[in-house]
Structure 1
Amino acid sequence: MSVVAGSYGYIAPEYAYTLHVTEKSDIYSFGVVILELVTGEKPMAPEIGDTDLVTWVSAKIVQSGLESVLDQTLADEHKEEMCDVLRIALLCISDCPGKRPPMRSVVTMLLDVKQENKRRLMAASTSGT
């Protein structure tokens, strides 16, 4: 194959030298989609400069912490859940394919975030806030 298959910004780093799509490269792409959701940015947006979303998120987290990359239109009300989902995305976009979780684990983690959110809402409603 001599043509890159996929959209720039979603392609796993190892694809450049293997030219093979694997479950782990799919996990990477899914992680980029999650990043889009929690940041409100596109993988190659002018707002993030001359870099891709993964590089931008990684650098910004190192500089200013997790909350600095969250979509501020949603973060006020859903900050905890968004940070939890962002942590899952960071696992998915690991540079090392072997460190990326299997999709079954990703789904389980996302369902755990959903359950925890339900618990928070229940606790908030019973405490009167």
Structure 2
Amino acid sequence: MSVIAGSYGYIAPEYAYTLRVNEKSDIYSFGVVILELVTGKLPLDPEYGENDLVKWVQSTLDQKGLDEVIDPTLDIQFREEISKVLSVGLHCTNSLPITRPSMRGVVKKLKEVTELPKSLSGKLSSPYFQEEASDIDREGSLV
């Protein structure tokens, strides 16, 4: 093949020298999508200069902190969950393919973000859990 296949900004770095796509390059692309969701930014933007979204997130996180990376339209009440999802995205976009998780691992980590705590105190604040609220008894345990 003489041309690069894929959308710029989503292509794993190793593709440039291997021209091969595998599960780990798919994981990278999925990680970019996660970063897009958390930051509200596109994978490529003139704002990043010579970099892409992955490098922008990494450097901004190191230099300015989490609050500068998170999309301001997201509900900061869920900062901890957003941070965990961001962490999954960064793990998926690791520059070394061997250190990226499997998709099974990604799904497991994302499910852990949404799990209800062992003991719930007070009212559930997320609208996504309202359907499940009837499954919780007065002490905060699942029935």
TM-score range, shorter chain: 0.7 to 0.9
The offset of 1:78, in angstroms, is 1.9
- How many Å separate the matches in 1 of 2:60 and 2:75? 16
Residue in 1 aligned with 2:104?
104
The offset of 1:23, in angstroms, is 0.3
What percentage of residue pairs aligned between the two structures are identical? 54
Task: Give the aligned CA root-mean-square deviation in angstroms.
Answer: 1.8
The offset of 1:75, in angstroms, is 4.3
- Matched positions, count: 123
Q: Which runs of 5+ in 1 are unaligned?
A: none
3-state SS in 2 of match to 1:74:
coil
Larger Rg: 2
Residue in 2 aligned with 1:4?
4
For the Cα contact (< 8 Å) 1:75–1:82, is it kept in 2? no
Q: Which runs of 5+ in 2 are unaligned?
A: 125-143
Q: Does 1:73 align with 2:73?
A: yes
Question: How does the TM-score come out when normalised to structure 1?
Answer: 0.88
- How many Å separate the matches in 1 of 2:2 and 2:18? 12
Please state which structure has a larger fraction of its residues in helix.
1
Q: Does 1:49 align with 2:48?
A: yes
Which contiguous aligned blocks of 4+ residues in structure 1 show a shift greater than 4 angstroms? none
3-state SS in 1 of match to 2:106:
helix
Question: How does the TM-score come out when normalised to structure 2?
Answer: 0.80
- How many Å separate the matches in 2 of 1:20 and 1:124? 51
